């Protein structure tokens, strides 16, 4: 059993939990993820690690309440226990020293992006970030990014905060203004990552993306998370979750994400939701 | 006692094929006391005991059968468990026809003694009539770590605990049992029974820590510096192989691991009562013809598929699954498409619509001794299916070899060991089961676990 040390609501759909998980906290690095099971007979769901504290042996997760299991998780409070919490899974993000990196986050994608940019900053890299959301409420972690990012740019669909438009609108503007980036790290919805790559590829700015496909075990056993990268099949759980965005077949990823759409719906009906 | 000279085994009651292919209850129902005694009197108690040579864990077979014939089932249980910690499991999933029963004298003329059925009866009888109690074994103060809570790990841990070692098993999944829990279906190996057998091992003092991935949560070197004097690696063969043909990433294509794990470990057959879903079309192709393929095909049928095909590139004689599994599958209506080699999976809008195969003819025997199939030019055709399950084998998970310096492995990933002691190239580290052999059987893994336990005990006793 793994204790929920604290819980915070970041907006109407996104919550943060700090969970006591010694094994994960001791070993995890930016870019890795965990699998959580809320209760007995629950689903195994993968979530990226947003932060960790090796001394307190805690791990921070940030999740969007979208389906059955995240709803169940959302019903829990500080002091409660989740039955399973395993990791760290996946490869640490391949971060390397360079001059200037910009992170691009969409919605809850800010969470996995945060430890990567912080690590780059610690490595002496100049970092900026673009955070996107439907409206101001969906822009999360901007204060935390501001602690080490030179610039925090914000884009909202409705213009309620920052630039009206998408994260790609802001990124295009920066490139047009002559900003030079050695690398882009984009984490968010598949369609956002696809569009960021579409933008950066002609400029040949290396772009890393982080994938979070459907999976069961997270250790390479089920193969449900397979993704085509550079024409080769990779397992996001053990080969990723970070990949070279130029090589990822996003259309296939988006299709595979919809594998159990009908069942998700039935599941809710079956439970009278 | 008068010997029963019947040429055939006492039949074991089973659910009717057309009933059982719609439920997940166990297919075979087991012997009654009377049936067990009757079958036990078929054993001649011959002096050479060839059956025991066929048993990877050396169960004193004629001894326990004699007790069954006398009606002393608890004494029979004691005899079996002196050598085998998981009898209810072995009685169900061991390939007895190649092992104990394959060597039985009665099998020369007629059917061998139903050793597996008797083992199963004895284990079930004991479970139904006893309450597990912790056993008090004096500790010897030495710590051993076991990686993976499958058949080899459980056996190794149990053997060492009996000798007083403090043993901790580290399991990557949330549930103990390894392939017994995630792989073999409920209708062949009920999960509450697996849980009972594991509880018996825990009663010996073995500690099981789930949710610890050795190679990620910690490494073998970490275990060594945490004071474990030896480590046994029984991490199995968890990495699924794919065909590498076009269309394999279409929606509706599963590895057998994913398909079976969803159903067995995550209980997707109870969806939406349980939240993990599984999607099965009206028509399902399972590629491969081993035991795992049979499990997947029979599971698909039970999930409501109308037509389930086993698609296999070789012929009937080359089918690697146990005869009993093939027989059960055919009874349940599984359609065998032998000498059919998949070459492409077709799809529409991202979803599977069919599997294209090319017919094969049998040619000369290959290095495995099996006649190798040769494609028949121009014989391609498409079997319309919505679901494809790839069951062509698994290889060892790379996590441990990637994170354990000094551990030598085969090119295909198997850990290299000394076959007598199961010692690896790394000091204090032993390995056994599928991670050494590639996907094999429960009982071979248990045999390896036992061998390693003996070697670990010898090594650590010498140190003291």
Contacts of A36 (CB under 8 A, 6+ apart): A44, A45, A47, A61, A73, A82, A84, A85, A86
Give the 3-state secondary structure of B121-170. HHHHHHHHHCCCCCCCCCCCCCEEEEECCCHHHHHHHHHHHHCCCEEEEE
* Burial (0-12, 13-18, 19+ Cβ within 10 Å), B139: exposed
pTM over 0.90: yes
Using a CB-CB cut-off of 8 Å, the residues of chain A touching B239 are 220-221
Question: Which site among A75, A86, A88, A257 would you substitute to test the B interface, given the most B Cβ atoms closer than 10 Å to its Cβ?
Answer: A86
pLDDT digits (tens, 9 = 90+) for A121-138: 999 999 999 999 999 988
Q: Which of B159, B157, B162 is nearest to B139 (CA)?
A: B162
pLDDT digits (tens, 9 = 90+) for A7-41: 999 888 899 999 999 999 999 999 999 999 999 88
pLDDT over 90 for what percent of chain B? Answer: 89
Looking at per-residue confidence, does B27 or B135 come out higher? B27
Locate tokens 């047009």: which residue?
A176
Q: Above 50 in pLDDT, residue B10?
A: yes
Q: Above 80 in pLDDT, residue A268?
A: no
CB B150 within 8 A of CB B234: yes
The ipTM (two decimal places) reads: 0.91
Average pLDDT of every residue of chain B: 94
Q: Note whether B257 contacts A223, CB cutoff 8 Å.
A: yes
Which pLDDT score, from 0 to 100, does residue A265 have? 56
CA A45 to CA A249: how far, in whole Å? 23
Which pLDDT score, from 0 to 100, does residue B1 have? 63
Report the Cα B258 to chain-centroid distance in Å: 16
Q: Note whether A222 contacts B273, CB cutoff 8 Å.
A: no
pLDDT digits (tens, 9 = 90+) for A190-214: 999 999 999 999 999 999 999 999 9
Q: How would you classify the pairing of strands A126-133 and A151-156?
A: parallel
pLDDT over 70 for what percent of chain A? Answer: 96
Which pLDDT score, from 0 to 100, does residue B439 have? 87
Mean pLDDT, residues B364-388: 90
CA A157 to CA B286: how far, in whole Å? 46
Which pLDDT score, from 0 to 100, does residue A270 have? 38
Which pLDDT score, from 0 to 100, does residue B130 have? 87
Within 13 Å and on the Cβ side, how many CA atoms surround A93?
A: 28
Nearest to A216 among B261, B267, B399 (CB): B261
CA A253 to CA A228: how far, in whole Å? 8
Nearest to A270 among B213, B244, B272 (CB): B272
Mean pLDDT, residues A90-98: 93
CB B241 within 8 A of CB B341: no
Main-chain dihedrals φ then ψ at residue B189, nearest 5 degrees: -150, 95
Nearest-Cα distance to chain A for B238, in Å, is 5
CB B148 within 8 A of CB B155: no
pLDDT digits (tens, 9 = 90+) for B272-305: 888 888 999 999 999 999 999 999 999 999 999 9
CA A217 to CA B91: how far, in whole Å? 29
Locate tokens 């599994």: which residue?
B325
- For B263, the closest chain A residue by CA position comes to A216
Task: Kindly indicate the confidence band of residue A147, based on its pLDDT and cuts at 50, 70 and 90.
Answer: very high
pLDDT digits (tens, 9 = 90+) for B188-228: 999 999 999 999 999 999 999 999 999 999 999 999 999 99
Q: Above 60 in pLDDT, residue A61?
A: yes
Which pLDDT score, from 0 to 100, does residue B310 have? 98
Q: CA dihedral in degrees (B161, B436, B171, A238; nearest 10)?
A: 160
Q: What angle do CA B399, B405, B408 make, to 5 degrees?
A: 80
Residue B416 DSSP one-character state? P
Nearest-Cα distance to chain A for B213, in Å, is 7
Q: Above 70 in pLDDT, residue B442?
A: yes
Question: Which site among B168, B170, B195, B217 would you substitute to test the A interface, given the most A Cβ atoms closer than 10 Å to its Cβ?
Answer: B217
Task: Kindly indicate the confidence band of residue A269, based on its pLDDT and cuts at 50, 70 and 90.
Answer: very low
- For A72, the closest chain B residue by CA position comes to B275
CB A10 within 8 A of CB A133: no
Which pLDDT score, from 0 to 100, does residue A12 have? 85
Q: Above 50 in pLDDT, residue A273?
A: no
Q: How would you classify the pairing of strands A14-20 and A2-9?
A: antiparallel
Nearest-Cα distance to chain A for B212, in Å, is 7
3-state helix, strand, coil in chain B (%, to 5): 35, 20, 45
CA B89 to CA B454: how far, in whole Å? 22
In chain B, the N- to C-terminal Cα span, in Å, equals 50
Average pLDDT of every residue of chain A: 92
Q: Note whether A271 contacts B272, CB cutoff 8 Å.
A: yes
Please tell me whether residue B209 adopts helix, strand or coil conformation.
strand
Mean pLDDT, residues B442-449: 94
Which pLDDT score, from 0 to 100, does residue B57 have? 92
In chain A, the N- to C-terminal Cα span, in Å, equals 27
């Amino acid at each position: 059993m793994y204790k929920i040390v604290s819980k915070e609501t970041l907006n109407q759909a996104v919550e943060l939990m700090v969970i006591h998980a010694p094994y994960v906290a001791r070993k995890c690095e930016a870019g890795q993820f965990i699998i959580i099971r809320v209760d007995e007979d629950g689903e195994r769901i993968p979530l990226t690690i947003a932060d960790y504290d090796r001394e307190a042996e805690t791990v921070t997760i940030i999740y969007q309440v979208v389906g059955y299991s995240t709803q169940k998780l959302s019903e829990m409070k500080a002091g409660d226990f989740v039955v399973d919490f395993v990791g760290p899974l996946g490869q640490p993000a391949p971060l390397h020293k360079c001059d200037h990196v910009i992170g691009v986050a969409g919605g809850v994608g800010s969470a996995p992006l945060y430890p990567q940019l912080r690590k780059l900053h610690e490595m002496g890299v100049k970092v900026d970030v673009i955070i996107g959301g439907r409206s101001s409420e969906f822009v999360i972690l901007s204060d935390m990014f501001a602690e080490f990012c030179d610039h925090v740019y914000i884009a909202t669909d409705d213009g309620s905060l920052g630039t009206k438009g998408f994260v790609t609108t802001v990124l295009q503007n920066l490139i047009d203004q002559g900003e030079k980036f050695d690398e882009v790290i984009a984490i968010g919805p598949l369609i956002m990552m696809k569009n960021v790559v579409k933008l950066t590829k002609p400029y040949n700015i290396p772009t890393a993306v982080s994938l979070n496909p459907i999976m069961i075990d997270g250790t390479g056993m089920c193969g449900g998370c397979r993704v085509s990268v550079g024409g080769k099949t990779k397992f996001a759980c053990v080969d990723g979750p970070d990949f070279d965005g130029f090589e990822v077949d996003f259309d296939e990823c988006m299709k595979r994400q919809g594998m159990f759409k009908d069942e998700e719906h039935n599941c809710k009906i079956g439970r009278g939701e | 006692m008068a010997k029963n000279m019947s040429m055939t085994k006492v039949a074991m009651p089973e659910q009717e094929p057309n009933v059982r292919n719609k439920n997940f209850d166990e297919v075979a129902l087991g012997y009654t006391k009377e049936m067990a005694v009757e079958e036990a009197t078929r054993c001649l108690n011959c002096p050479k005991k060839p059956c025991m040579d066929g048993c990877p864990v050396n169960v004193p077979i004629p001894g326990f059968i004699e007790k069954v014939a006398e009606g002393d089932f608890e004494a029979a249980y004691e005899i079996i468990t002196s050598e085998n910690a998981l009898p209810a499991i072995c009685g169900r999933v061991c390939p007895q026809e190649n092992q104990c029963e394959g060597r039985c004298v009665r099998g020369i003329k007629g059917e061998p003694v139903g050793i597996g059925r008797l083992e199963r009866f004895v284990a079930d009888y004991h479970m139904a009539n006893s309450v597990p109690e912790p056993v008090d074994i004096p500790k010897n103060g030495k710590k051993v770590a076991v990686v993976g809570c499958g058949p080899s790990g459980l056996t190794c841990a149990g053997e060492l605990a009996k000798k007083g070692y403090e043993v901790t098993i580290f399991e990557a999944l949330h549930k103990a049992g390894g392939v017994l829990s995630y792989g073999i279906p409920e209708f062949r190996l009920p999960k509450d029974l697996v849980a009972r057998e594991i509880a018996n091992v825990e009663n010996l003092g073995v500690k099981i820590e789930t949710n610890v991935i050795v190679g990620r949560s910690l490494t073998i070197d970490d275990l060594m510096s945490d004071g474990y004097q030896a480590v046994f690696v029984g991490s199995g063969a968890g990495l699924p192989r794919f065909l590498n043909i076009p269309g394999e990433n279409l929606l509706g294509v599963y590895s057998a691991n994913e398909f079976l794990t969803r159903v067995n470990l995550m209980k997707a057959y109870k969806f939406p009562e349980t939240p993990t879903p599984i999607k099965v079309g009206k028509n399902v192709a399972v590629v491969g013809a081993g035991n795992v393929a049979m499990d997947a095909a029979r599971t698909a049928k039970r999930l409501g598929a109308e037509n389930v095909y086993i698609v296999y590139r070789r012929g009937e004689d080359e089918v690697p699954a146990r005869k009993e599994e093939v027989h059960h599958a055919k009874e349940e209506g599984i359609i065998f498409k032998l000498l059919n080699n998949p070459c492409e999976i077709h799809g529409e809008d991202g979803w599977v619509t069919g599997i294209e195969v090319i017919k094969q003819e049998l040619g000369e025997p290959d290095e495995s001794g099996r006649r190798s199939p040769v494609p028949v030019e121009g014989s391609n055709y498409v079997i319309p299916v919505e679901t494809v399950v790839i069951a062509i084998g698994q290889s060892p998970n790379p996590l441990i070899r990637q994170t354990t310096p000094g551990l030598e492995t085969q090119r295909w990933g198997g850990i290299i060991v000394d076959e007598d002691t199961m010692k690896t190239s790394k000091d204090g580290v032993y390995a056994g089961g599928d991670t050494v052999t590639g996907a094999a059987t429960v009982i071979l893994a248990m045999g390896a676990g036992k061998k390693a336990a003996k070697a670990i005990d010898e090594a650590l006793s010498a140190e003291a």
